[in-house]
Amino acid sequence: MVPQKDRYHLERVSTGGKSEFETFKNEKDHLHYFHFNDENGQALLYSQGYKDARSRNGSISSVEKNAKRVERCLDGDCHYFIIRAANKLEIARSRDFADEAEMDAAVDQMQRSLLAGVDIGTTPTQAPKQTPIAPKPEPAHQPSRYRFSLEWQHRGQGEPMLGVIEYPVTGDKTTFKGIDTGAIERFVTRFAAPPPAKKQQRPPLTMLPPQTKDLTLTTTDGRYIGDNLFLSNAVLEIHMDLAEPGAPGEATFMAKVYARSLDSGDNILMTEQQGFVTETGGITMPVRLENLTPGSYRLVSNVDMHTNGRIKRLEASRLVHLVA
């Protein structure tokens, strides 16, 4: 008895160059066979031999109907799959795969192709050596207008029409049975994607001239401080009124407070704060003087207020003296 694997002529290559059922007659055993070729035109499924073309074509129809009856197999390190008919008989076998992931990808591609419908071609008796087909490069630029080629072919009495749609820019094409608007829409959507939306450019910000404000000092419990003499461990609160007559009610700000030493000229960052300007238009920033050595300093507050595409710089300062 001939081993099951030897009934498929797995050594024979396909020459159609596209995804289709490729039929041929073997001159040695005078039996009729078919291959199902993948999207690169290489044999993916192999059939057993049939005594006449009618039986072979019936097996092709059976493969189309039973494409989901896939049985995954492992022979040593080689993965392959077979398709069985409803009566459990084996009707087609795949080529060998290096790993399970490669096989699963081939199964998915086969089922999608058979669902869309594929043509039946023929090959000469003597098939030349098959060379891998390089994948088609992606176009560098998609045109703003799209043109597709669409035609239908009659396959024979009682058979549904075979539709073929092609995108001429890349040469990609697919087939489907009957007037399958869903298959047409899926193919067109792959290439006729809407152009990316243009990003809206923000108008440039307007820088307004700096303005001088009053800087008020209070204790943490809100008592106003009029003196400029403080202990070096004092904790103060700096208040600034940012509101302007007629200014919008919503604005954001970024503020920093420095202590500028009158002895060394160093600027020491004391605190920074950002957020929304309150309805009263005022901001409050706590300042701890414990990190400063005794001496004379000028507390400088710089505030950038953002509103309606404008940036307004507000400045305020006050002289303080620290004692141990």
Give residue-wise pLDDT tens across range 309-324. 788 888 999 999 999 8
CA 197 distance to own-chain centroid: 16
CA gap 106, 172 in Å, rounded: 18
Which whole number is the average pLDDT over 141-152? 70
The pairing of beta strand 120-122 with beta strand 21-25: parallel
Residue found under tokens 């404008």 = 310
* 208-323 CATH: 2.60.40.3880
Class for domain 4-122, per CATH?
A: mainly beta
Residue of 31, 33, 35, 25 lying closest to 118 (CA atoms) = 35
Among the residue ranges 101-110, 163-172, 289-298, the one predicted with the least confidence is 163-172
Number of neighbouring beta carbons within 10 Å of residue 46: 23
pTM value? 0.38
Among the residue ranges 11-15, 104-108, 132-136, the one predicted with the least confidence is 132-136
Residues 6+ apart with CB under 8 A from 172: 136, 166, 190, 191
Cα–Cα separations (whole angstroms), residue 107 to 71, 96, 205:
10, 12, 57
Which whole number is the average pLDDT over 142-148? 65
Q: Which residues pair with 298 in a beta bridge?
A: 260, 319
Percent of the chain residues topping a pLDDT of 90:
23
CA gap 263, 96 in Å, rounded: 85
∠ CA 19-42-60, rounded to 5° = 55
Query: Per-residue pLDDT for 187 more than 80?
Result: yes
pLDDT, one tens digit per residue, over 236-254 is 999 888 876 445 456 788 8
Phi, psi of 103 (to 5 degrees): -65, -45
* pLDDT at residue 256 in the model: 92
Residue found under tokens 């080689």 = 78
The ranges assigned to domains in the chain are 4-122, 149-191, 208-323
> What amino acid occupies position 32?
H
Q: Which residues pair with 310 in a beta bridge?
A: 206, 307
Q: How confident is the model at residue 199 (pLDDT cuts 50, 70, 90)?
A: low
Q: Is there a contact between 43 and 37 (Cβ–Cβ < 8 Å)?
A: yes
